Amino acid sequence: MRGARIERVWLGRADLRSPFPDGFATRLRGQTVNELTRRGKYLLARLSSGDTLVMHLGMSGEFRLDGLFGTGGGLAEPGRHDHVTFEMSPAATITFNDPRRFGSMDLVAVGDARAHRVLGRLGPEPLADEFDAAVLAKACRGKRTSLKAALMDQRVVAGLGNIYVSEALHRARLSPRRRASTIATRAGAPREGASRLTAAIKTVLREAIDRGESYPVRPSRRPRFRVYDREGERCLRKECPGTIKRITQVGRSTFFCPVCQK
């Protein structure tokens, strides 16, 4: 999409997780995608109009390159879960498919990105240099919620999802049920757990990126996680006799080792 012009936009419905903004397709038509960036879990397409197209994949969304528009007689018949199609020039057809419809698309006017209802509240990027133990401890100071819930809060750190929170907590040897405030002093200074956790978050994400890992994936390509989706299996930490347990937190499954994660 970068450098291409949006010729037409087809909408298969009036909404995804939330309604499309008024005039969504019309405002996109004729605009060139100048830049593609990311903030947290949001994909940001900077347009020649100055507007920003804000996209979120949700749990099941994906973009698919269907082929070259104009070279095969037009668009193919949309699939059941195809909800948005961008006809681009140079010739390409890009379709957003989302079976569970937890994804979203929005348009932010010129200069309003920081004031956006979600983007303006996001915490630091986990792989940024400025995200360190001190920043995480300050965000968790006084929080009575669980450490798992705190890390899932996009205001604490942007972009962490359920799988990699479980993975990072296991690598850091911290229980997901531990109170978030325990990794900081009363003054908000980082304890040792905050240092281990920030290092674990960065390591887990960098390794996943290096592997080109995503989830869900086809079973034959499914990555081997340390704890996620391994309920009842032996802990992979050397010399740990624990068995991976699954509990539910903030409406999501948490996997952890009750022996080595304290």
* Residues 135-156 pLDDT 10s: 999 999 999 999 999 999 999 9
Judge whether 72 lies within some domain.
Answer: yes
Give the CA distances from residue 169 to residues 154, 174, 227, in Å, rounded to whole numbers and listed in that order: 17, 5, 10
Of 121, 153, 182, the domain-final residue: 121
Burial class (CB in 10 A: 0-12, 13-18, 19+), 44: middle
Contact 76, 70 (CB under 8 A): no
101 and 14 fall within a common domain: yes
Residue 184 pLDDT level (bands cut at 50, 70, 90): very high
Is a pLDDT exceeding 90 seen at residue 61? Answer: yes
- Rounded to 10°, the helix 162-171/192-211 angle is 130
171 and 99 fall within a common domain: no
49 and 143 fall within a common domain: no
Judge whether 33 lies within some domain.
Answer: yes
Cα 2 to Cα 5: distance, rounded to the nearest angstrom:
9
| Parent domain of 164 | 133-222
Q: State residue 67's pLDDT score.
A: 67
Q: Which amino acid is at 168?
A: A
Is a pLDDT exceeding 70 seen at residue 214? Answer: no
Q: How is residue 82 written in tokens?
A: 């195809």
88 and 191 fall within a common domain: no
71 and 166 fall within a common domain: no
63 and 110 fall within a common domain: yes
Report the pLDDT averaged over residues 23-42.
Answer: 95
> What H or E segment, with its residue span, contains residue 202?
helix 192-211
Judge whether 242 lies within some domain.
Answer: no
162 and 217 fall within a common domain: yes
Domains identified in the chain, total number: 2
Contact 194, 187 (CB under 8 A): no
Q: What's the pTM value of the predicted model, to 2 decimals?
A: 0.84
Q: Which amino acid is at 96?
A: F
The CATH number assigned to the domain holding 192 equals 1.10.8.50
